[in-house]
Amino acid sequence: SEAAWGYRSLEKTIMDLDGIVSSRDFGVDLKGKLVGDGSVNYWLKVANNTGNAPEIDKYKRYYAMLQFKLADGLQATVYADYASKANKLDNFDKQLKSNSQFVGSAFLGYKQKDDFSVGAEVFTRSIQNNFTKSAASTLQNQNSFGLSLWGWATLSENFKFVGRFDNYDPNSDLDNDGNAFFMAGLDYRPAKNVSVIPNFQYVSYQAKDSKGNSTQDLVARITFAYTF
């Protein structure tokens, strides 16, 4: 999805942005074609689960993905991973419990040459025994959900419009931790592989301030990017 999004200079894709899965990891990969014409491909990986950082423990992450090239310019992926982690102490019953996590996602993208591109990515994550609602209750699983929609369109030889919307809920059992993210920008290309992109990001949070008002962030930026 990161390659299909194509605007890493503006922002990470949703799972990387929200700390669900890093776009990079160090490990051993096995990938290839399931169908001779390359319309169905697979990718398996066993890795450290430390991103760009050095290895720090014995626990690993196990990845699997299928990619489907459905038609010219149209692709889909189905992805899952399992991350083993050290057991976590439940302070309620003083028992060590599994804290491993599972992530599943799906992506659908379409690109019409250099005219336009659209994409959608959805994911779910479950972390075993990762939170408790109160000191008087035992640990329970934390379930997260996210949705990302994006697109860009060529306006002229030198200009493209790019927009994106994300919705992220870190814990479906809590009502004050989610956020909605919107971004829009104008990609001006004065020369080959050079982009100057005035853009803004707007984030609306479920959490309220001390007066009970909704909270937002609005950031305006100019992003310079050179592809080499």
Token pair for 202: 């707007």
Outline where the chain has alpha helix (H): 2-5, 14-17
* pLDDT attached to residue 218: 97
Looking at residue 139, what is its pLDDT?
95
Q: Which residues of 134-150 are buried (b: 16+ CB within 10 A; e: fewer)?
A: eeeeebebbebebebeb
Check pLDDT > 90 for residue 135: no
- Distance, CA of 64 to CA of 76 (rounded, Å): 14
pLDDT tens digits, 159-209: 999 999 999 999 999 988 999 999 999 999 999 899 999 999 999 999 888
Asked whether the beta carbons of 11 and 202 are under 8 A apart, the reply is no
Which pLDDT score, from 0 to 100, does residue 224 have?
Answer: 97
Cβ within 8 Å of residue 118, ≥6 positions away? 109, 110, 149, 150, 151
Check if the beta carbon of residue 191 is closer than 8 Å to that of residue 213.
no
Predicted pLDDT at 213: 85
Predicted pLDDT of residue 210: 82
Which secondary structure element, helix H or strand E, spans residue 131, and what is its range? strand 116-131
What is the percent of the chain with per-residue pLDDT over 90, rounded to a whole number?
87
Section 125-153 average pLDDT:
95
**How many CB atoms within 10 Å of residue 162?**
21
How far apart CA 167 and CA 179 sit, in angstroms, is: 6
pLDDT at 14: 96
d(CA 54, CA 26): 9
User: Which pLDDT does position 179 carry in this prediction?
Assistant: 95
What is the percent of the chain where pLDDT is above 70? 100
Which amino acid is located at 178 in the chain?
Answer: G
pLDDT for 134: 84
What is the tens place of the pLDDT at every residue in 48-84? 999 888 998 999 999 999 999 999 999 999 999 999 9
Cα–Cα distance measured from residue 21 to residue 179, given in angstroms and rounded to the nearest whole number:
18
Model pLDDT, residue 194: 96
pLDDT per position as a tens digit, 27-56:
999 999 999 999 999 999 999 999 888 998
Contact predicate 67/76, CB 8 Å:
yes
pLDDT given for residue 189 in this prediction: 95
SS3 5: helix
Is pTM, for the whole model, over 0.75?
yes
Instruction: Look at residue 152 and tell me whether its pLDDT is greater than 90.
Output: yes
